[in-house]
């Protein structure tokens, strides 16, 4: 019996924390050359900076912004290294004494052209980990885009990165948890909306995802980037749960001990909340960040911070509305620190809780 598809999740996803020293350097310790880096200052306000190897290390986009991609050789994420990524001495990602976190994913460390869709895309794909980075140019008309995963992704996160001067565009999130007739915005706290023009009311297939006429996913002549995520047993889980409004809250089974969790209430306004096992080395997990805000890390336990990471999932320990309202509906994205049961030892011993 296969308990997991990946015995060592840190080969494909890893969280890295560091304290800035005011120099230009490579931040190392990831364990692989990342293809997607999402970095954030923890100790003070600062933008969420995202770079990927398909667009290039000097090109950053920001989940708390509707703005276009920024290209800089002197700031934000600058390059991808064999064990991490390069940053500048400036205050955004390596200010002296400031603290930071970066979440890192492995794709293919290379790109390929994909003509499965009506729009030809450039992709970096890791089918083992269920992750692909997809770059394409919008047409403004209903279309399909090849993602290269070989299975239908559960989540597609899309950003128009190539806007006219002064233009803006929301980050769009489509998911099988809600259906691709609906969408969320990663950069706002908005509740779920029904929108036929974003993903053309069409769930992804094993080869393509669909885009409609909306500029956020298919602006004519605009460069678009998409991050596509497919579930892999014992490594990633993208699901939903209902709140119970109790301090002894909902338990969510993932089939692994999570390393990283992002949760969004969908039936009401609520922020995208992120926790991970590196910033929180023991239960409960008070250290949270919000994808749509540039705010410093929150360290209280009076709201979303009341969460436990368990050997096979996570448990909410608060009645806070953004995590566990009695009538609330939620979706989550989670990646593993360890599978609940690994295959490689030959003894199938479950991982222990924290």
Whole-angstrom CA distances from 306 to 5, 247, 300 are 30, 9, 8
91 and 19, same structural domain?
yes
Q: Is residue 352 part of a domain?
A: no
Q: Is residue 223 part of a domain?
A: yes
Range name among 73-87, 250-264, 274-288 with the lowest pLDDT average? 274-288
149 and 84, same structural domain?
no
Contact 151, 130 (CB under 8 A): yes
Q: Is residue 345 part of a domain?
A: no
Confidence band of 273 (pLDDT split at 50, 70, 90) = very high
pLDDT value, residue 269: 97
Model confidence over 114-137: pLDDT tens digits? Answer: 999 999 999 999 999 999 999 999
Which of 105, 120, 141 is the C-terminal boundary of a domain? 105
Query: Distance between the two ends of the chain, CA-based, in angstroms?
Result: 26
Confidence band of 1 (pLDDT split at 50, 70, 90) = very low
187 and 256, same structural domain?
no
267 and 249, same structural domain?
yes
251 and 206, same structural domain?
no
Contact 171, 245 (CB under 8 A): no
Which of 105, 121, 148 is the C-terminal boundary of a domain? 105
65 and 143, same structural domain?
no
255 and 277, same structural domain?
yes
254 and 218, same structural domain?
no
Residue 51 pLDDT more than 80? yes
87 and 183, same structural domain?
no
pLDDT value, residue 115: 98
User: pTM of the entire structure?
Assistant: 0.95
Average pLDDT, the chain: 92
Residue 281 pLDDT more than 80? no
Nearest CA to 341 out of 332, 349, 352, 329 is that of 349
Model confidence over 54-88: pLDDT tens digits? Answer: 999 999 999 999 999 999 888 899 999 999 999 98
Whole-angstrom CA distances from 61 to 65, 171, 173, 263 are 8, 10, 15, 21
How many structural domains does the chain have? 3
262 and 171, same structural domain?
no
Q: Is residue 351 part of a domain?
A: no
Rounded to an integer, the average pLDDT of 1-12 is: 84
Q: Is residue 119 part of a domain?
A: yes
97 token code pair:
């004494």
What range does the domain containing 334 cover?
A: 236-339
212 and 131, same structural domain?
yes
Rounded to an integer, the average pLDDT of 169-189 is: 98
50 and 70, same structural domain?
yes
């Amino acid at each position: 019996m296969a308990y997991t598809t990946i015995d060592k999740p840190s080969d494909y996803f890893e969280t890295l924390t560091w304290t800035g020293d005011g120099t230009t350097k490579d931040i190392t310790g990831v364990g692989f050359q990342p293809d997607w880096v999402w970095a954030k200052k923890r100790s003070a306000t600062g933008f969420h900076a995202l770079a990927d190897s398909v667009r290039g290390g000097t090109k950053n986009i920001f989940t708390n912004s509707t703005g276009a991609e920024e290209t800089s050789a002197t700031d934000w994420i600058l390059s991808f290294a064999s064990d991490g990524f390069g940053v500048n001495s400036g205050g955004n990602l390596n200010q002296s004494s400031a603290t930071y976190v970066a979440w890192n994913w492995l794709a293919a460390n290379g790109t390929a052209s994909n003509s499965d869709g009506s729009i030809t895309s450039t992709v970096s794909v890791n089918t083992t980990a269920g992750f692909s980075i997809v770059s394409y140019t919008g047409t403004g008309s209903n279309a399909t885009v090849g993602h290269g995963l070989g299975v239908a992704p559960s989540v597609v996160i899309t950003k128009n990165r190539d806007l006219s001067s002064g233009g803006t565009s929301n980050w769009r999130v489509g998911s099988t948890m809600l259906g691709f007739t609906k969408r969320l915005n990663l950069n706002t706290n908005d509740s779920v909306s029904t929108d036929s023009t974003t993903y053309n009311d069409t769930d992804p297939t094993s080869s393509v995802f669909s885009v409609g006429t909306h500029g956020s996913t298919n602006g004519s002549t605009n460069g678009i980037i998409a991050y596509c995520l497919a579930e892999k047993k014992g490594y990633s889980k993208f699901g939903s749960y209902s709140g119970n409004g109790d301090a002894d809250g909902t338990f969510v089974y993932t089939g692994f001990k999570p390393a990283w969790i992002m949760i969004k209430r969908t039936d009401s306004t609520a922020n995208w909340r992120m926790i991970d096992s590196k910033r929180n080395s023991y239960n409960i997990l008070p250290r949270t960040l919000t994808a749509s805000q540039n705010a410093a890390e929150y360290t209280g336990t009076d709201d979303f911070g009341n969460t436990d990471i368990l050997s096979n999932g996570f448990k909410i320990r608060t009645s806070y509305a953004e995590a566990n309202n009695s009538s609330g509906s939620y979706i989550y994205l989670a990646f593993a620190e360890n599978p609940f049961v690994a295959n490689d030892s030959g003894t199938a011993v479950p991982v222990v809780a924290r």
